[in-house]
Amino acid sequence: MKTLVIVSHPYPDRSNAIKSLENIVQGLPGVTVRNLESLYGDDMTQFDVAAEQAAYEGVERVIFMFPIHWFNLTPMLKAYLNAVWSYGWAFGPEGIALKNKEMLVITTAGATQFTYSKDGLINSTIDEVLTPMKSSALYVGMTYAEPIAFYEAMAPSVEKLNKFKQVIHERLAD
């Protein structure tokens, strides 16, 4: 399945897990990776909208890979969606560019899985935290796949990274 991966991390120099996950998918056949901070630095106003929209052409699956940042998307990813997923391209009268593509979110969280539970500190699951992504996907006619979340990802061990790698390979083999 031809796949576009959009990667964002607000602190790329301190990224361990997202950088490792990006490296895992980068070598897979049929996968194109666009790292927003590598392309645009920290400037959230200079997206090459035409190039970003063109990256979606011919893909069947779009993966958004980012750490949960204050229980939300990264600021760069939010700015990207605001600029690139425009009316008339992604939705609206002629907006069919994303229709029938699959959206998969691969995310990391520094906290434990229990923190992201009804009984945990935030009384919310990771699925609830990712509701804006699900809503966005459904609004533009995409299918929303069950997200993949890696917890306690601030300084993952080699063993934990190998488990991440296995999960990614199994899911993307679909």
pLDDT in tens, 31-45: 999 999 999 999 999
Which pair of structure tokens corresponds to residue 90? 């992604």
Is residue 132's pLDDT more than 70?
A: yes
Q: Tell me the CA distances in angstroms from 121 to 67, 111, 118, 138, one per residue in order.
A: 18, 10, 8, 29
Confidence band, pLDDT 50/70/90 cuts, at residue 144: very high
Q: What is the pLDDT of residues 28-78, one digit of tens each?
A: 999 999 999 999 999 999 999 999 999 999 999 999 999 999 999 999 999
b or e along 8-42 (b: 16 or more beta carbons within 10 Å of the residue's beta carbon)? Answer: bbbebeebebbebbbebbeeeeebebbbbbebbee
116 three-class SS: coil
The ranges assigned to domains in the chain are: 3-172
What is the overall mean pLDDT for the chain?
Answer: 94
Among the listed residues 65, 66, 62, the one whose alpha carbon sits nearest the alpha carbon of residue 52 = 62
Is residue 174's pLDDT more than 80?
A: no
Q: What is the pLDDT of residues 96-111, one digit of tens each?
A: 999 999 999 999 999 9
pTM for this prediction = 0.95
Instruction: Give me the architecture of the 3-172 domain, per CATH.
Output: 3-Layer(aba) Sandwich (3.40)
